[in-house]
Structure 1
Amino acid sequence: MPDQGFEIDEDGEIRIEPTEEDWKTLREVSDSIPKAAYLVILVEFCERFTYYDPAELPGAMGKGQQTATALTTFFQFWCYVTPIIGAVIADQYWGKYKTILIFACIYFVGLIVLTLTSIPSAIASGATFPGFIVAIIIIGLGTGGIKANVSPLVAEQYKNTKPFVKTIKPKLSSKFAADEGDLPVHNSVANKGDVRVIVTPQATYQKLFNMFYWGINCGSLAAVVTVILEKNFGFWPAYLLPTLVFIPGILIVFAGKKLYVRNPPRGSIFLEVFKVIRLSFKYGLEGCKPSVLQKEHPEVAKNATWDDVFIDELRRTFRACVVFCWYPIYWLCYSQMTNNMVSMTATMQTGDVPNDIMQNINPLTLVIVIPIMDKFFYPGLRRLGIHFGPMARITCGFFFAAIAMGYAAGIQAYIYSQGPYYEYPTGNGKNDVSAGLIVPAYIFIAISEIFASITGLEYAYRKAPEKMKSLVMAVFLFMNCFGSILGFTLVSVAVDPKLLWMYAGISIAMGICAPLFYFCHGKNDKSDIAEDAIGRSRHTEVVDEYEAEAKPAF
């Protein structure tokens, strides 16, 4: 057996590197999650508690449903543009922690404006509408600074970057029990029956982002409470509650300063990025390396302010961003849940339940299913030796989104087949169809998020260079804007009786994209295995070798 390398971590624990034989015979498990990461997740819970759709208020402002829809669309678009601003500031000037803290304060100012302009006297004086516009602009800016940086900050709390072998005492429970529940023992004192496993960063980041998304959706369930408050007590209590909940979020960020792993900003890199991109059209990306320029174009090399490693990192960034280009159609599917499907339930029999509460089935499903996936499904696949890589997971997410839209099309057809209003229920009344029939569509969308949205966050972090973590995350979030643009193009068919064909068309488009996506990017899962197996210290060498075989566009 070849000698195994080892290293001693900062806690004095010996970590043994897995051999090639270990990778073939041992299963992968995730490491324990640092406590500081849970603090950041708690901050995100408080932020999500306040982030519900504040634009659907035609009754309070007296501007009508069309204005409310326009404001909703603008708010969603603005919230996914501003992360670019937050990412640039964090990566270049302030760092993630300071950026989150300052933008959280900006967010809080917007919440105060929103609350004060929703009180009865403000509504009576006509201050609500202009105050509302100002509030959503401020809140959207605050959201951008937080959204682009909070998930990378969560991931940065886990500092181990190399896989290592661990010996655990197996549980007596099901063979598919959670990896993290096993008891670790030192390899030198392993007893008969103890199991050796490989703790990998990939499995750990997967678990970490699952927990992060779980926190997001726990906060999203606040919409149930705020809708009830608005219905029974008015708008200002519905806004006051999230404003008060956000205060602990800011305090947690501030109080946990000494606990967080806080990587400093990397300095100005965007000027270099633009220069490299410009030169790449002439020399190719590989030709922009200073080592190559020095030989072939010395007059250009003397002005280069970057190194060869920067070019390799930029290539990795491009690879990640190419994957994200498939997401707009997915976000188009997702957005139906908060607009057209809400309108659909308004044409169905809901009893005493407000139709806009139905969309909370989605976060409720996620809160229930994410722990099951994390504790049983993913560990079970790893125990069976099945590598369910990021590209495969994203493909599954796309398929589930297509299924959700196909199911919605079937329900819409059924609504049109029932009286008393048949194909024209909108604006007339409710057809004799139970709203419970639409529940599976929300469940399918939730499952698609687990595979596509969570994995997208994980992939954006893991593939982004150290200098560009927030920026790559912002690019991933920015794809939601293009989903909104696609939604705008479908406004003309988002009316009865064309809704059936709209859902069907979206389902077909997503169903076609899913296999095409895997055909184009499925090979990336192989490089992920190589990355974990060989370690980050040799990752650049592996990626370059793999890309040479795959002949990528860049």
Structure 2
Amino acid sequence: MGKSDFKLDTEGHDKKHKSPKLCGTNYPVSIAFIVVNEFCERFSYYGMKAVLTLYFIHYLHWDKDLSTAVYHAFSSLCYFTPVLGALIADSWLGKFKTIIYLSILYVIGHVVKSVGAIPDVGDSTVHIALSMIGLILIAFGTGGIKPCVAAFGGDQFEQQHTEERRKFFSIFYMSINAGSVLSTVITPILRGDVQCFGGDCYALAFGVPAVLMVIALIVFIAGSGLYKKSPPEGNVLVQVCKCIGFAISNRWNSSRKSPSREHWLDWAEDKYSKRLIQEIKMVLRVLVLFIPLPMFWALFDQQGSRWTLQATRMNMDFGGAFVLKPDQMQMLNALLILVFIPIFDLGVYPLVGLCRIKVTPLRKMTMGMLFAALAFCAATIVEVNVIKTVVEPPPAKQCLVQVLNLADRDLTVHIPGVSEVTVKPYEDPTGYTTLSLPGDKESLTVKITSGTNVYTCSENFGDEKAYSLILRNTQSGVTCELVKDQITKSESGDAYLRFINTLSNSVNITVGETNFYAAGGYGIDHNKTVERGEYNGIICATPSKEWAVDLGLLDFGASYTFIVTEENNAVTVKKVVDVEANNVHIAWQIPQYVLLTAGEVMFSVTGLEFSYSQAPASMKSVLQAGWLMTVAFGNVIVLIVAEGAGMEQWVEFLLFAALLVGVSIIFSIMAYFYTYVYPEELDKMFSQDNGDNNETGFKKDPSDIVYKIHELPKTTKM
């Protein structure tokens, strides 16, 4: 969230069209349809995206790295496709028809994505195929209409109503933030609190955004008769590319005797006007400054991937008042941005100015980068504490083993390659110990000592696994049983539990909506997930009788073993903690969100305001494309690191922070040598120059392809 939005307006719309006004004001009625459309579309997009990472992990059963990579590949595609949408709108269909047709594509993508989340629809391959097709269609839909909707809204105003147009963009911005906040609150609730098909209801979580996109399309079409519709007038980006291509080609094909040119773009003067060439030079100077910017977006967009995954391993209970869902934490950015913009504009920047420190746009952007780096330093500290409760899986040719004593006396256990340990009955296990194996599987003889008695048992240990060695009484003494453990924490915050039944009769136990069955004589029902909560008065049923037992709090991310025993002619359970619960509260993520949002205000808002102020009016769309490309390439960086680095998460966070600090230093050096220019000087420069009018170049005053930038809203969720 939080990418700034470039508002593009053409002057070539239908001047004769008079749209009815709202209540005697200068606001066209048509903008109401556009604002509602944008609210529904942003709800649709951010609602779907909020649960996307968890969908990959829990529904498609991908690992964290693949899930992160696909998430950022999708985000990247969403910021490459706006260029295509702008080309279609400006060169072929016009903004109105482009929004209609690509919105239909958008709706189809949502529907396909929702169908792919229905378990009964085909096998896993079908689900993956439908999900990927849906995401591609959504990316083309949302990216394609991105450069069109806001500009289309600006087209509705008369040219003299600049103040009303400015306020429209503020309202437009608010609708984006409202859609973003509400969707990141509601869709995680639809995912987690509504159960369907025996689990989290991803089909509903994707289906509701699909419905909102249908509403967005219907609302937009409903206002059709009220809109001013600009005809396609040619895309300036195409002209820029042709001019640059001609300059390169002309320079390459020219003879050595040709006179030298001051700038390589001057080789285009044979075909294109001097004004166009000068404008392109100005734009290229800004685009060079864009080169380091993708690293900021590489950090910023991890809110929906790595930071969401971090939240799944944290305590999300707010004192019993409510339990936050990990994918809901993303709403904090949208809320903070509304608070920080006036604080920075009315408080921070003026105070810094009073200290006689010149606050230039490029300095603001550099500070924004440093704040984002600090956010990832904060995320690193949180991650280091989060992983203290995590049991790391063993590597190849190693396994983990812990000992659980269910006998009625103290026992001393010796496993070859592991130090001897004494365990007391029914206490928490000894903790996992690493056992090295010569191969991927090894049969080892375990020695158990009780006083003067020595017992042995042989068990097969496999590598890259975790085991509990369960000791129990038999008629001949003490024996052991090796049981595989669940050490990977649930990414949804659920608790894992299993039951070991020491009774002679079998038992049935239902915890929440999960049923457990354990045969008599030390039968085990292996780990199953149960939603976090307090579970007391649970019915434990034997073939002849039912008993009420208390399990207590089953906390976030923990793994428990419950031992069913009989004491004083009553069935009871003993709780053993195999893997500790998440003990770092999710509120500790707030500092990193605060720092990142502060960085966004300084970087994203200022970045567009600076770049657009430095470019001629006819080149605003080129800079829009360049800015969106920095977001796209930022997501590509995350994709590469997630798939190729293979490092621990806290190290990866620290790496990103260090890279951004390095990039900010490079950017500050580039900024130091940058000379601010004022595009309006071009009008003076060419006021007496008639230029060269030709079919492929611009006229002296390119009024046939003028793009006018309106006053920008501070930031939008684009």
Asked if TM exceeds 0.5, the reply is yes
Question: Please, which of 234, 243, 250 is the counterpart of residue 267 of structure 1?
Answer: 234
- Corresponding position of 1:121: 120
The 1:110/1:489 distance shift into structure 2, 3 A limit, reads: closer
- The answer as to whether partners of 1:402 and 1:510 remain within 8 angstroms in 2 is no
Report the structure, 1 or 2, having the larger helix content: 1
- Corresponding position of 1:478: 629
- The answer as to whether partners of 1:350 and 1:435 remain within 8 angstroms in 2 is yes
CA distance in 2, matches of 1:423, 1:388: 50
CA distance in 1, matches of 2:311, 2:582: 10
1:442 aligns with 2:593: yes
Matches for 1:268-417 after TM superposition, within 5 Å: 272-281=239-248, 282=251, 283=261, 284=263, 287-288=266-267, 290=269, 301=270, 304=271, 306-351=272-317, 352-370=323-341, 376-377=346-347, 390-415=361-386
- The answer as to whether partners of 1:118 and 1:128 remain within 8 angstroms in 2 is yes
- The answer as to whether partners of 1:404 and 1:441 remain within 8 angstroms in 2 is yes
Deviations, residues 303-362 of structure 1 (Å, cap 9, x unaligned): x2x323322332333234223223201101202322222222333322332222222211
- The answer as to whether partners of 1:103 and 1:146 remain within 8 angstroms in 2 is yes
Amino acid at match of 1:280: A
Matches for 1:143-182 after TM superposition, within 5 Å: 143-154=142-153
Deviations, residues 424-457 of structure 1 (Å, cap 9, x unaligned): 9975765532221121111222222223223444
- The answer as to whether partners of 2:68 and 2:306 remain within 8 angstroms in 1 is no
**Aligned partner of residue 433 in structure 1, secondary structure:** coil
The 1:150/1:457 distance shift into structure 2, 3 A limit, reads: farther
* C-alpha deviation, 1:383, in angstroms: 12
CA distance in 1, matches of 2:246, 2:390: 65
Q: CA RMSD in A?
A: 4.2
- Corresponding position of 1:142: 141
- Corresponding position of 2:44: 50
* C-alpha deviation, 1:228, in angstroms: 0.8
Amino acid at match of 1:322: V
CA distance in 2, matches of 1:481, 1:215: 24
State the TM-score, normalized to the length of structure 2. Answer: 0.54
Amino acid at match of 1:43: N
The 1:59/1:347 distance shift into structure 2, 3 A limit, reads: closer
Question: Please, which of 488, 506, 509 is the counterpart of residue 662 of structure 2?
Answer: 509
CA distance in 1, matches of 2:121, 2:342: 44
**Aligned partner of residue 119 in structure 1, secondary structure:** coil
CA distance in 2, matches of 1:276, 1:421: 59
Amino acid at match of 1:235: Y
* C-alpha deviation, 1:144, in angstroms: 1.6
Q: Percent identity?
A: 26
Deviations, residues 267-294 of structure 1 (Å, cap 9, x unaligned): 265664344224434343562464xxxx
- Corresponding position of 1:14: none
Matches for 1:448-463 after TM superposition, within 5 Å: 448-459=599-610
* C-alpha deviation, 1:511, in angstroms: 4.5
The 1:380/1:360 distance shift into structure 2, 3 A limit, reads: same
Question: Please, which of 239, 247, 251 is the counterpart of residue 214 of structure 2?
Answer: 247
Amino acid at match of 1:59: H
The 1:160/1:518 distance shift into structure 2, 3 A limit, reads: farther
- The answer as to whether partners of 2:371 and 2:596 remain within 8 angstroms in 1 is yes
CA distance in 1, matches of 2:357, 2:29: 29
* C-alpha deviation, 1:468, in angstroms: 5.1
CA distance in 2, matches of 1:423, 1:431: 17
- The answer as to whether partners of 1:347 and 1:426 remain within 8 angstroms in 2 is no
CA distance in 2, matches of 1:361, 1:272: 41
* C-alpha deviation, 1:225, in angstroms: 0.7
Report the structure, 1 or 2, having the larger strand content: 2
Amino acid at match of 2:205: A
The 1:517/1:383 distance shift into structure 2, 3 A limit, reads: closer
- The answer as to whether partners of 2:185 and 2:331 remain within 8 angstroms in 1 is yes
The 1:231/1:90 distance shift into structure 2, 3 A limit, reads: same
- The answer as to whether partners of 2:290 and 2:630 remain within 8 angstroms in 1 is yes
Amino acid at match of 1:479: T
CA distance in 1, matches of 2:62, 2:340: 39
CA distance in 1, matches of 2:393, 2:384: 9
- Corresponding position of 2:672: 519
1:103 aligns with 2:135: no
In structure 2, stretches of 5+ residues that fail to align are 1-14, 16-25, 195-200, 252-260, 318-322, 395-486, 490-578, 688-718
* C-alpha deviation, 1:469, in angstroms: 4.3
- The answer as to whether partners of 1:321 and 1:475 remain within 8 angstroms in 2 is yes
Amino acid at match of 1:82: T
CA distance in 1, matches of 2:380, 2:233: 48
53-62 or 227-236: bigger deviation:
53-62
Amino acid at match of 1:87: A
- Corresponding position of 1:433: 584
CA distance in 1, matches of 2:672, 2:210: 46
* C-alpha deviation, 1:139, in angstroms: 0.8
* C-alpha deviation, 1:255, in angstroms: 3.8
- The answer as to whether partners of 2:106 and 2:137 remain within 8 angstroms in 1 is yes
- The answer as to whether partners of 2:373 and 2:657 remain within 8 angstroms in 1 is no
- The answer as to whether partners of 2:292 and 2:667 remain within 8 angstroms in 1 is no
**Aligned partner of residue 97 in structure 2, secondary structure:** helix
* C-alpha deviation, 1:474, in angstroms: 2.5
The 1:62/1:392 distance shift into structure 2, 3 A limit, reads: closer
Amino acid at match of 2:217: I
CA distance in 2, matches of 1:453, 1:507: 15
CA distance in 2, matches of 1:359, 1:271: 37
The 1:538/1:84 distance shift into structure 2, 3 A limit, reads: same
* C-alpha deviation, 1:106, in angstroms: 1.2
CA distance in 2, matches of 1:336, 1:64: 16
Deviations, residues 397-422 of structure 1 (Å, cap 9, x unaligned): 32322232232233334546x55769
Larger radius of gyration: 2
* C-alpha deviation, 1:107, in angstroms: 0.6
Deviations, residues 508-549 of structure 1 (Å, cap 9, x unaligned): 33542563354244x43xx45x85xx8x954878xxxxxxxx
Amino acid at match of 1:437: W
State the TM-score, normalized to the length of structure 1. Answer: 0.68
311-320 or 423-432: bigger deviation:
423-432
The 1:379/1:396 distance shift into structure 2, 3 A limit, reads: closer
- The answer as to whether partners of 2:377 and 2:654 remain within 8 angstroms in 1 is no
Amino acid at match of 1:129: I
Amino acid at match of 2:39: F
**Aligned partner of residue 315 in structure 2, secondary structure:** coil
Amino acid at match of 2:291: C
CA distance in 2, matches of 1:160, 1:319: 30
- Corresponding position of 1:215: 175
